[in-house]
Structure 1
Amino acid sequence: MTYIEGFVVAVPAANKEAYRQHAATAAPLFLQFGATRLVECWGDDVPDGKINDFKGSVKAKDDEIVLFSWIEFPSRQVRDSAHQKMMADPRMEEMSKTMPFDAMRMIFGGFEVVGDDGATATMGYVDGMVCAVPHDNRAAYEKFSSRNGDLLKEFGATRVVDAWGDDVPVGKITDFQRAVMAQEGEKVVYSWIEWPSREARDAGWARAMSDPRMMEGEMPFDGSRMIHGGFRPILDVQETGHA
């Protein structure tokens, strides 16, 4: 997998099943258009931040839950072709009339994968993260990603993915740049960690935080502006047919 479309959206808590059904209906179309996997994750452990956070990124209301979602594609070219097919497909147009969330506050973008440690598998829990990294620090970030990915797998993660901002539009109301207060010369990075369960994730992070190897070297980005949270998958559709 070399390219992803990443999303963050706020959905009314009462619309959880309606959203899942909406996404489940759209998923086979995305696979038909060239995607290899579509994952939707419902906010479970999404903390308030001192500077910024996932809730603020999509201006979530008190009765809304943040979702962290992505679509995997073999390449940027396949993703662009899929977008063209989506826009021309009457089924997608019909679905857009009944979306169970405010699409105007959704943030999205295309990202080039720079680190993918582990194997795609059915997972029970996801840590989602978005940060801003100076463009000149890309090589340092890739090294950071590889090292931390190896350690997190040692602590129980099954897959760690980091993706570099490539086609990240500026929105009228919300966008990824504002979500992480990206400064001039910085790129948005979209990342996630797959775990077997919430329990495995909690135990894994406890081990990570007590391991001095996690603290070695300097972080190649401003961690105070990173947004993060824990999410429970509600839909995981792959080209193998798993859902």
Structure 2
Amino acid sequence: MTYVDGFVAAVPAANKEIYRKHAAEAATFFREFGATRIVEAWGDEVPEGKVTDFKGAVQAKPDEVIVFAWVEYPSKQIRDAVNEKMMNDPRLKEMGSEMPFDGKRMIYGGFATIIDENSGGKPGYVDGSLIPVPVGNKDAYRETAVKFATVLKECGATRASDSWGDDVPDGKVTDCRRAVKATNDETVVYSFVEWPSKQIRDEGWKKVMADPRMRPDSLPFDGKRMIHGGFTPILDA
């Protein structure tokens, strides 16, 4: 089963190019060790929420931008092997001492893909989300996600992917569970939608929101605690 490591970080706006170069260098190692894809997306439309939001999730400062990123692997076994190699490679240890952002506030986790509706092609824009879902609602969530993915693709999206929290550690400062105020009986879903461009995304969402299939009687999760935002890819390796 495809496996995803998902990351959310707060990066000083002035460090955008430095961050992109740093991410590109790290991506060469991920690919060398077995990852199939690395995406880094720069915050463009990241709204403030009443209960939760991306900025609060990583304690972003006024001069910082949210980065939504993920690494894809063919399986969890390969992901674990890649991470071990990354941790032990002296080249990466040297890079880690020069990160252009505060790694202590980054949130991350490992997620097992439960749906991936993919038409192919690299995105020009990405919608990213973290969602708290009761563990017992996994099948109901998957069913809802498949229905939503169908509508999204009809309205212009090229890919809709949802991955179930599998290895989501607690952090000392921030973490994915605190980001969405997850309860003990909930896990975190890492979700993203790829679009050809921001224009198509904006036009597509108008159609999506008008579609009656996107207004179910009930959702298998608490939408008020879901965090979301729009991001522009700066690296797709």
What's the TM-score, normalizing by structure 2?
Answer: 0.99
Matched residues in 1 for 2:4 and 2:224: separation? 25
1:118-137 counterparts in 2 under 5 A? 118-137=118-137
1:69-88 matches, within 5 Å, as: 69-88=69-88
Pair 1:204 & 2:204 matched: yes
Q: Kindly state the Cα deviation for residue 208 of structure 1 after the two structures are TM-superposed.
A: 0.8
Matches of 1:168 and 1:117, distance apart in 2:
24
CA offset at residue 127 of structure 1?
0.1
In structure 1, the residue corresponding to 2:100 is in which secondary structure? coil
SS of 2:97's partner is helix
Runs of 4+ in 1 over 2 A off after TM superposition: none
Aligned to 2:7: 7
| Structure 1 counterpart of 2:34 | 34
Q: 1:154 corresponds to which residue?
A: 154
- Name the counterpart of 1:188: 188
1:130 deviates by 0.4
RMSD over equivalenced CA pairs, Å: 0.8
CA deviations over 1:58-98 (Å, ceiling 9, x no partner): 00000000000000000000000011101110110110111
Determine the C-alpha separation between the residues in 1 that align with 2:67 and 2:230.
10
1:217: Cα distance to partner? Answer: 3.7
Aligned partners of 2:209, 2:29: CA distance in 1, in Å? 41
The SS at the match of 2:10 is strand
User: In 2, Cα distance between the equivalents of 1:159 and 1:137?
Assistant: 23
- The aligned counterpart of 1:223 is 223
The aligned amino acid for 2:193 is: I
Secondary structure at 1:98 match in 2:
coil
1:73-112 to structure 2, matched below 5 A, reads 73-112=73-112
CA distance in structure 2 between the aligned counterparts of 1:86 and 1:226, rounded to whole angstroms = 31
1:241 maps to which residue? none
Stretch moving more, 11-20 or 203-212: 203-212
Unaligned runs of 5+ in 2: none
AA of the residue aligned to 1:194: E
User: What is the alpha-carbon distance in structure 1 between the residues aligned to residue 2 and residue 83 of structure 2?
Assistant: 17
* 1:216 CA displacement: 2.6
* Structure 1: tracts of 5 or more residues without a match: 238-243
CA distance in 2, matches of 1:104, 1:120: 34
Residue 54 (structure 1) aligns with: 54
1:194 alignment partner, SS class = strand
Taking the aligned partners of 1:55 and 1:216, their CA distance within structure 2 comes to 29
State the AA in 1 paired with 2:136.
D
Task: Report the count of equivalent residues.
Answer: 237
Identity %: 58
Q: Give the counterpart letter for 1:153 in structure 2.
A: K
